[in-house]
């Protein structure tokens, strides 16, 4: 088994390179598949941004079945007032950054997580007769989760803001785990229902 590269609704698969392979090799593969410039996207794995292209992939703990989420710099969604990514004339502080991250997670847990749980329950209980609108709901939830990741990605805690960096990493990891749950359950449901179109991949 290799690596799964997630870019929006697209999925790419790469055989796991040797541990000493530089991250730049993976970045080049992603650039070739997405046609994005190599410096125009970020790679997220296990809640962290993979930044050092000169480091071996072993430094990032990549292993068979690992997922890498690709976020393009031009994909940022519209900012909402007071939310992550919103422009403000006020100077950010570490505490305000932490508050923004926590607010994002509260919104996620209050609205999107219940919708995700309901969707997963529905497709697991009726996997053999997936409704036609299940694909749309899957795409909607996946898009909202990716937008949450993108908003968190706009935050760049100052170097000395240790607590803010930790909060952001935990938040990104939580959202990524929800994406993994969604994709895993959807794949299992599709595998048990051969009538689901391949476009739902």
20-71, pLDDT tens digit by residue? 999 999 999 998 888 888 888 888 887 677 888 999 998 888 888 888 988 8
Select, from the ranges 7-16, 17-26, 146-155, 189-198, the one with the highest average predicted confidence (pLDDT): 17-26
Nearest to 4 by CA among 79, 76, 68: 68
CA dist., res. 69 & res. 49, Å (int): 9
Q: What confidence score (pLDDT) does residue 25 get?
A: 93
Q: What is the pLDDT of residues 140-154, one digit of tens each?
A: 888 888 888 888 877
Q: ∠ at Cα 177 (2, 164), nearest 5°?
A: 115
For 53-63, the pLDDT digits (tens) are 999 998 888 88
* The token pair that represents 62 in the structure block: 């990549």
Note the pLDDT tens digit of each residue in 84-138: 444 443 456 888 888 889 988 998 898 889 999 999 988 877 655 566 678 788 8
CA–CA dist 83, 79 (Å, integer): 7
What pTM, to 2 d.p., does this model score?
0.57
Q: What is the pLDDT of residue 200?
A: 43
What's residue 128's pLDDT?
56
Residue ranges and CATH numbers for the domains of the chain are 3-72 (3.10.20.90), 94-200 (1.20.58.120)
Query: What are the structure tokens assigned to 199, written together?
Result: 């476009």
pLDDT of residue 54: 92
Residue 5 tokens read as 């590269």
């Amino acid at each position: 088994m290799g690596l799964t590269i997630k870019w929006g609704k697209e999925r790419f698969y790469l055989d796991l390179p040797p541990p000493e392979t530089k991250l730049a090799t993976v970045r080049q593969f992603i650039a070739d598949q997405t046609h994005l410039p190599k410096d125009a996207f970020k790679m997220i794995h296990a809640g962290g941004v993979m930044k050092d292209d000169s480091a071996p992939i072993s430094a990032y703990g990549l292993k068979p079945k690992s997922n890498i989420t690709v976020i393009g710099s031009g994909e940022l969604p519209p900012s909402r007032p007071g939310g992550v990514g919103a422009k403000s004339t006020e100077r950010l502080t570490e505490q305000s950054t932490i508050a923004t991250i926590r607010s994002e997670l509260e919104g996620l847990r209050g609205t999107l997580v219940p919708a995700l749980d309901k969707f997963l329950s529905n497709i697991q209980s009726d996997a053999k007769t997936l409704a036609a609108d299940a694909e749309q709901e899957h795409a909607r939830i996946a898009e909202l989760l990716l937008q949450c990741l993108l908003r968190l990605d706009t935050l760049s805690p100052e170097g000395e803001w240790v607590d803010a960096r930790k909060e952001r990493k935990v938040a990104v990891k939580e959202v990524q785990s929800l994406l993994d749950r969604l994709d895993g359950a959807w794949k299992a449901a599709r595998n048990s229902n051969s009538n689901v179109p391949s476009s739902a991949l």
